[in-house]
Structure 1
Amino acid sequence: MSTQHTKSSLSALTLAAIGIVYGDIGTSPLYTMKEVFSKEHGLALDQANIFGVVSLIFWGLFFIVAVKYVTLILRADNRGEGGIMALTALALESVTKLSRWHFVLMVLGLFGASLFYGDGVITPAISVLSAIEGLEVATPTFKPYVIPITLAVLIALYSVQYRGTSGIGKLFGPIMILWFVVLAAMGLVNIIKMPSILRALNPMYAMEFLNYHRYLGFLALGAVVLAFTGAEALYADMGHFGRKPIRVAWFLIVFPALALNYLGQGALLIARPEAVSNPFYQQLGPWSVFPLVVLSTVAAVIASQATISGAFSMTKEAISLGFLPRMKIIHTSAKEIGQIYIPIVNWLQLLVVVGVVVGFGSSSALASAYGIAVTGTMLITSILTFFVIRYGWKYNLAICFLATGFFFVIDAALFSANALKFFQGGWFPVVLGGLMFTIMVTWKGGRELVFDNLRKHAIPLEDFLESLFVSPPTRVAGTAIFLRGEADGVPHALLHNLSHNKILHERVVFLTLHNTDIPWVPFSDRIKITDLGHNCFQLDVFYGFKNEPDIPKALELCAAHGLEFEPMETSYFIARQTIISRPGGGMAMWREWLFVTLSRNARDAADYYQVPTNRVIEVGSQVEI
Structure 2
Amino acid sequence: MSQPLAHPLPSDTAHGTGPRRQGLPALTLAAIGVVFGDIGTSPLYTLKEVFHPAGGVPLDRPHLIGACSAIVWALMLIVTFKYVILILRADNRGEGGALALTALAAHAVRASPARRRALLLLGLFGATLFYGDGVITPAISVLGAMEGLEVAAPGLEPWVVPASLAVLGALFAVQRLGTGAVGAAFGPVIGLWFVTLAATGLAQVAREPAILAALNPLEALAFLSERGWQVFAALGAIVLAITGAEALYADMGHFGRAPIRLAWTVLVLPALALNYLGQGALLMAEPAALENPFFRLFPAAWVPAAIVLATLAAVIASQAVISGAYSMTKQAIQLGFLPRMALRYTSAREAGQIYLPAVNWALLAGVAGVVLGFGSSSALAGAYGIAVTVTMLITTVLTYFVVRHGWRLPRGLALGATAFFLAVDALLVAGCSLKFLDGGWFTFAVGLALFALMSTWERGRALLLQTIHSEGLALREFVAALPGSATPRAQRTAVYTVADPDTVPHALLHNLKHNQVLHARNLILTVVFHDVPWIEDQRRAEVEPLGQGFWRVALHFGFMQVPDVPRALAGCEAQGLRLSPFETSYFLSRETVVPTPGTGMARWRERLFAAMSRNAGSVAEFFRLPDNAVVELGTRIQI
- Assess if the C-alpha contact under 8 Å between 2:494 and 2:523 holds in 1: yes
Distance 1:220 1:165, change over 3 A: same
Partner of 1:404: 418
Cα RMSD after superposing both structures: 1.3
Q: Map 1:77-476 onto structure 2 (within 5 A).
A: 77-96=91-110, 98-476=112-490
- Assess if the C-alpha contact under 8 Å between 2:469 and 2:500 holds in 1: no
Cα offset, 1:470, TM superposition: 2.3
Distance 1:491 1:514, change over 3 A: same
Match of residue 552, structure 1, among 528, 552, 566: 566
Whether 1:617 aligns to 2:634 is: no
- Assess if the C-alpha contact under 8 Å between 2:501 and 2:524 holds in 1: no
Whether 1:511 aligns to 2:525 is: yes
Partner of 2:6: none
- Assess if the C-alpha contact under 8 Å between 2:490 and 2:517 holds in 1: yes
Give a deviation string over 1:557-595, Cα, whole Å, max 9, x none.
112222121111101111111111112351112111111
Report the secondary structure of 2:596's partner residue: coil
Partner of 2:58: 44
Cα offset, 1:523, TM superposition: 0.6
Give a deviation string over 1:237-265, Cα, whole Å, max 9, x none.
00000000000000011011001101101
- Partners in 2 of 1:372 and 1:186 — Cα distance? 30
Report the secondary structure of 1:369's partner residue: coil
- Partners in 2 of 1:66 and 1:194 — Cα distance? 27
- Partners in 2 of 1:515 and 1:303 — Cα distance? 31
Distance 1:539 1:472, change over 3 A: farther
Partner of 1:25: 39
- Partners in 1 of 2:227 and 2:567 — Cα distance? 63
Q: Larger relative CO (CA 8 A, sep 6+): 1 or 2?
A: 2
TM-score by length of 1: 0.98
Which amino acid in 1 is paired with 2:229?
Y
Distance 1:578 1:7, change over 3 A: closer
- Assess if the C-alpha contact under 8 Å between 1:451 and 1:487 holds in 2: no
Q: Which moved more, 1:17-26 or 1:559-568?
A: 559-568
Which amino acid in 1 is paired with 2:458?
K
Q: What is the percent sequence identity of the aligned residues?
A: 54
Report the secondary structure of 1:538's partner residue: strand
- Partners in 2 of 1:185 and 1:222 — Cα distance? 28
Distance 1:296 1:383, change over 3 A: same
Which amino acid in 1 is paired with 2:514?
H
Distance 1:235 1:221, change over 3 A: same
Give a deviation string over 1:288-321, Cα, whole Å, max 9, x none.
2111110000000000000000000000000000
- Partners in 1 of 2:588 and 2:111 — Cα distance? 31
Give a deviation string over 1:366-391, Cα, whole Å, max 9, x none.
00111001101000000000000001
Partner of 1:53: 67
- Partners in 2 of 1:547 and 1:511 — Cα distance? 18
Report the secondary structure of 1:426's partner residue: helix
Which amino acid in 2 is paired with 1:606?
A
- Partners in 1 of 2:355 and 2:498 — Cα distance? 28
Report the secondary structure of 2:305's partner residue: helix
Distance 1:563 1:8, change over 3 A: closer
Give a deviation string over 1:40-95, Cα, whole Å, max 9, x none.
10110011111111111111111100110011000000011000100000000111
Report the secondary structure of 1:431's partner residue: helix
Which amino acid in 2 is paired with 1:13?
L
Give a deviation string over 1:68-124, Cα, whole Å, max 9, x none.
001100000001100010000000011125344222211110110010000010000
Which amino acid in 2 is paired with 1:80?
G
